Amino acid sequence: MSHRKALTLEEKVALIKDNQNGHGLSVRQLTDNYKISKSSAANILRRSEEFLADYSSNSNKGIKRKLKDENRQKIDEIVFEWFAQRRAKQIPISGPILQEKARQVAEQLGCTTETFKASNVDDSTVEEWTQRLSTILDGFNENDVFNADETGLFYRATPDHSLVLSKEECKGGKKSKERLTVLLCSNLTGTEKLKPVVIGRSQRPRCFKNITTSKLPVIWLSN
């Protein structure tokens, strides 16, 4: 008769309970039922306390994980309902505002700052790029390495971006405004700054009618 080489922890616990019941099964019966050798069955019974303790520990971890997942799901549902209500009233909601609401709901449900953090950036991606960047920069002088800080700018328009629901109809917007991207570049030592780069939609906007772009105090690019 062929025998299996190993049993899972759950199967070992089941075997132990089959042996400990009022009409417990013998080693021979356990061997036939679980298709293992007599020595394996005897070894499992000899280490029964160890296996039962491991199983109890893993079960507790599973319960905690389940509660954690249930809390996260409940937080998502409450925050989404709140978000939908605000958007129905045309109230703009940004990412940071949504994160703050999620933290408030988590606190009301008994979560601590250690057990819950509102998601924003993928930490694994940040860690990966932190390691890759040091490799890329290796061998370069700090004076020759520049950092570019990018910011978006709507010319003559106040920022009122908002997260929206997929079913919402797009209204208003910035169709009459020029969206600009501004890049400010300086080296890591702070000893040198490059001329700012401004990226607009048009190569020659109407407002540049009598202006030579090469004479601007910035580098003008279009995309």
Which pLDDT score is estimated for 76?
79
Q: Tell me the mean pLDDT in the region 182-190.
A: 85
Q: For 127-156, how does the pLDDT look when each residue is reduced to its tens digit (9 = 90+)?
A: 777 777 777 777 788 888 888 877 777 666
Mean pLDDT of the chain: 76
User: Tokens standing for 211?
Assistant: 């202006």
Mean pLDDT of all residues in 51-64: 68
Quote the Cα angle for 194-152-218, to 5°: 30
pLDDT at residue number 161:
55
| pLDDT average, residue stretch 103-127 | 69
Phi, psi dihedral angles at 28 (to 5 degrees): -60, -45
* 119, pLDDT greater than 80: no
pLDDT value of residue 160: 54
CB-based contact 195:213 (threshold 8 Å): no
Q: How far apart are CA 41 and CA 30, in angstroms?
A: 7
Best CA proximity match to 178, nearest among 143, 196, 152: 152
What pLDDT, on the 0 to 100 scale, is given for residue 176? 44
Query: Which pLDDT value is given to residue 1?
Result: 45
Category of 156 on φ-ψ map: left (φ > 0), alpha (ψ -120 to 50) or beta:
left
Q: What is the pLDDT of residues 205-218, one digit of tens each?
A: 887 888 888 888 99
The model's pLDDT over 58-98, given as tens digits with 9 standing for 90+, comes to 665 555 555 566 777 788 788 888 887 777 777 777 777 88
Residue 66 has a pLDDT of 57
More confident residue, 45 or 75: 45
In this prediction, what percent of the chain has a pLDDT beyond 70?
Answer: 73
pLDDT value at residue 35: 87
- Between 109 and 171, name the one with better pLDDT: 109
| pLDDT computed for residue 175 by the predictor | 47
The per-residue pLDDT for 61 is: 56
pLDDT band at 164 (very low <50, low <70, confident <90, very high): low
What per-residue confidence (pLDDT) applies to 174? 47
In the chain the domains, ranked by start, together with CATH numbers, are 9-57 (1.10.10), 70-109 (no CATH), 141-158+177-222 (no CATH)
Mean pLDDT of the 164-169 span? 62
